[in-house]
Amino acid sequence: MAADDTQKFIAQLIRDNRVMLFMKGNRLFPQCGFSSVVVDILKSHKIPFGTFNVLQDMAVREGIKQYSEWPTIPQLYVDGEFIGGCDIVREMEQTGELAEKLAPVRPSS
Amino acid sequence: MSEPGPVAQAITRKLAEALNPAALEVINESHMHSVAPGSETHFKVVIASEAFAGKSPVARHRQVHALLKDELAGPVHALSIVAWTPDIWRQRRGAFPPSPKCLGGSKAG
């Protein structure tokens, strides 16, 4: 995949999933402790979220770092907005800011 | 604890010079991951600095990423960041969250 196509692919994933996590491994078998922490936090909020395993796609693994000019993975996006990596998500979880960010995404029933 | 390696020393020097930190800890966590003994690939930096005042978590992390651009483009492939103002640092009495366990992802490249 050309670099431009990779950026389009990433943008599409972020458009298609209101909560989108780029991670190592998948939600059942995270392959990195930092990714695993974010998956556990998202699961606890009982909201739907998409994941993409960057270990299976080198172009996306490098492309996502350029997409938000952020050098590490995992990366969490909510409604197109870059939220942060594991450290930031964990801190926002503690302060309640993450729950606020996710409130519009939570199923109403 | 062994002496800090050249990468750890460079990280410490760059952060200390740029951020005038009230507290600074650079921890080599490579031994927690599936890399060769003595590696300098996985780091955690804990910094308290007035330079972070009034900035969002993402902006604080970006500030650290920019200072460590060379290391992130080179040997360092995981960087966990705790970036607080000195006030928050004192409130939390310098206690920062531990890093999660590795789940083997670095083996996959």
Q: Could you read off the pLDDT of A83-99 as tens digits, one per residue?
A: 999 999 999 999 999 99
- Mean residue pLDDT across chain A: 95
Interface of B with A in 47-66 (CB under 8 A): 57-58, 61-62, 65
**CA nearest A75 in B: which residue?**
B58
Of A21-30, A66-75, A94-103, B88-97, the poorest mean pLDDT is in B88-97
Q: Which long-range contacts (CB under 8 A, 24 or more apart) does A62-68 make?
A: A62/A6, A63/A3, A63/A6, A63/A7, A63/A9, A63/A10, A64/A10, A64/A22, A66/A7, A67/A7, A67/A10, A67/A11
Write down all domains in chain B, each with its CATH number in brackets: 6-93 (3.30.300.90)
More confident residue, B93 or A89: A89
Residue B108's pLDDT is 44
Predicted pLDDT of residue B77: 86
Closest Cβ opposite residue A88 in set B61, B65, B108: B61
Does residue A74 have a cis bond before it (omega within 30 degrees)?
A: yes
CATH of domain A3-102: 3.40.30.10
- Does position A23 have pLDDT exceeding 90, yes or no? yes
Q: What is the dihedral of CA B101, A62, A46, A78, to 10 degrees?
A: 130
pLDDT level of residue B45 (50, 70, 90 thresholds)? very high
User: How large is the C-alpha radius of gyration of chain A?
Assistant: 13
- CB of B95 within 8 Å of a chain A CB? The answer is no
Domains of chain A: which residue ranges? Answer: 3-102
A96 touches chain B (CB under 8 A): no
User: Which pLDDT score, from 0 to 100, does residue A109 have?
Assistant: 56
Q: CA–CA separation, A104 vs B10, rounded Å?
A: 43
CA–CA distance, A89 with A22 (Å, rounded to integer): 13
Q: Which residue among B78, B80, B100 places its CB closest to the CB of A36?
A: B100
User: Average pLDDT, stretch A32-43?
Assistant: 95
> What value does the mean pLDDT take over residues B75-96?
90
**pLDDT reported for residue B106:** 60
- What gap in Å lies between CA B1 and CA B12, rounded to an integer? 17
Query: CB-based contact (8 Å) between B104 and chain A?
Result: yes
Q: Is A24 in the B-facing interface, judged by CB distances under 8 Å?
A: yes
Average pLDDT over residues A59-65: 95
